[in-house]
Structure 1
Amino acid sequence: MTDDTRTVPERLVDFLPNLRRFAISLCHSRELADDLVQSACERAILAADSFLPGSRFDAWMFRIIRNLWIDHLRRQKTAGPQEDIDDARDVAIPSGEAGSHARMELLEVTAALKKLPEEQREVLVLVCVEDLSYRDTAEILSIPIGTVMSRLARARKNLAELTGIGVEEKRSSGKKGDMA
């Protein structure tokens, strides 16, 4: 709980990067994500009276944006091609070899995230990127906490397998004869 006395529009300004990051994780298109964020902000401002003081503003906003995304998917069953985040060239990275490696890793993780089932991707982004608790994530997604935990475990496992990150460490730590 928070004792923040700022208005909904004032809170929105500080929270825009989080909303945009979550929207991009849902739709994989920066343009569509920006549209979702704009719609979510409009909806939040219009429904500011329904926000309960003392409740979690982030959870309220994530629920709004997720509901807008679900509405969009229902309307767009036969949608045409969308911009792919992999084609975006405006990501700021350092120059040289380190920048090349960072870009390659980012593309690898982005591709792996896209391969995760949507329910695993949602939980992974809310818990690991947005740093929400299991309880808040469960509330936003309207699922039990146990379901959040199992989806998160499966998402982490699948992401590790798809990227190879963490797999090598497990292999090397499980060698016979190693004594700690």
Structure 2
Amino acid sequence: MNRAQVQDHLPGLRRYARMLTGDRWAADDLVQDTLERACRKWLLWRAGTDLRAWLFTLMHNLYLNQRRGAPPLHLLDGQDAAAELPAATGLSHDTALDLERCLQRLPPDQRAVLLLVTLEDLPYTEVARVLGVPVGTVMSRLSRARSRMREWMESADQRPGGVAPVPADAARTPADAPPALRRLK
């Protein structure tokens, strides 16, 4: 592992950290902590394996360790977060802000899978390796995350002013409840 190899993965690490934490400063700290750990543990990386997946695994594990016992995340600087979304997405600032808020409302395990698959374009097998879960769990979490995001974004579009729905930890009302599943034969 050399410096150039790691530098190639910095933009992806920064994106992932930014979306995990919802805060620019916390994301920078997480990236720095990840790089420090990578330097200390570089002998554990096996040449010929995917350096990107190894770095994302280090970051994800550090994030989980830092979050243990910490209060729930809140989007503190949502204006900054929405401004950092790529302009090529074609999203308005308000929509980008709603998207950021909805992402932060997802349970951490679902948010991690959604970000690694959609933002970092990792295949399911790599995401499973990074998170230490079976591929089926990755697909399940991704499906639930996409459904929730779709539901929240649609309800935000229908509300006056496009305001995102109530926080996930608030009591759900019958109108917020997910649709009942139907059994098909």
Q: Say yes or no: TM over 0.5.
A: yes
Gaps of 5+ in 2: 158-185
Q: Which has the larger radius of gyration?
A: 1
| Secondary structure class of the residue paired with 1:22 | helix
The counterpart of 1:54, out of the listed 40, 45, 48, is 48
Gaps of 5+ in 1: 1-6, 94-99, 168-180
CA contact (8 A) 1:23 1:33 kept: yes
1:91 maps to 83
Q: Deviations over 1:31-90 (max 9, x none)?
A: 01100100111111222222111111111001101111112112x5359x9772314289
Once the two structures are overlaid, the 10-residue window that deviates more, 41-50 or 144-153, is 41-50
1:64 maps to 58
- Matching residue's letter, 2:132: S
TM, length-normalised to structure 2? 0.73
The counterpart of 2:10, out of the listed 5, 16, 22, is 16
Question: Relative to structure 1, is the Cα distance of residues 78 and 156 closer, same or farther in structure 2, using a 3 angstrom cutoff?
Answer: closer
CA contact (8 A) 1:40 1:68 kept: yes
Matches within 5 A, 1:89-168: 91=83, 102-164=92-154
1:3 maps to none
- Matching residue's letter, 1:11: Q
- Inter-partner Cα distance in structure 2 for 1:92 and 1:24: 9
Question: Relative to structure 1, is the Cα distance of residues 43 and 105 closer, same or farther in structure 2, using a 3 angstrom cutoff?
Answer: same
| Secondary structure class of the residue paired with 1:77 | coil
| Secondary structure class of the residue paired with 2:121 | coil
Calculate the aligned-residue CA RMSD, in Å.
2.8
Identity %: 35
- Inter-partner Cα distance in structure 1 for 2:133 and 2:122: 14
- Matching residue's letter, 2:27: A
TM, length-normalised to structure 1? 0.75
Question: Relative to structure 1, is the Cα distance of residues 126 and 160 closer, same or farther in structure 2, using a 3 angstrom cutoff?
Answer: same
Compute the displacement of 1:101 (Å).
5.9
- Inter-partner Cα distance in structure 2 for 1:127 and 1:89: 19
- Inter-partner Cα distance in structure 2 for 1:52 and 1:108: 40
- Count of residues paired in the alignment: 153
- Inter-partner Cα distance in structure 1 for 2:70 and 2:107: 17
Question: Relative to structure 1, is the Cα distance of residues 8 and 85 closer, same or farther in structure 2, using a 3 angstrom cutoff?
Answer: farther
Matches within 5 A, 1:20-31: 20-31=14-25
Question: Relative to structure 1, is the Cα distance of residues 107 and 20 closer, same or farther in structure 2, using a 3 angstrom cutoff?
Answer: same
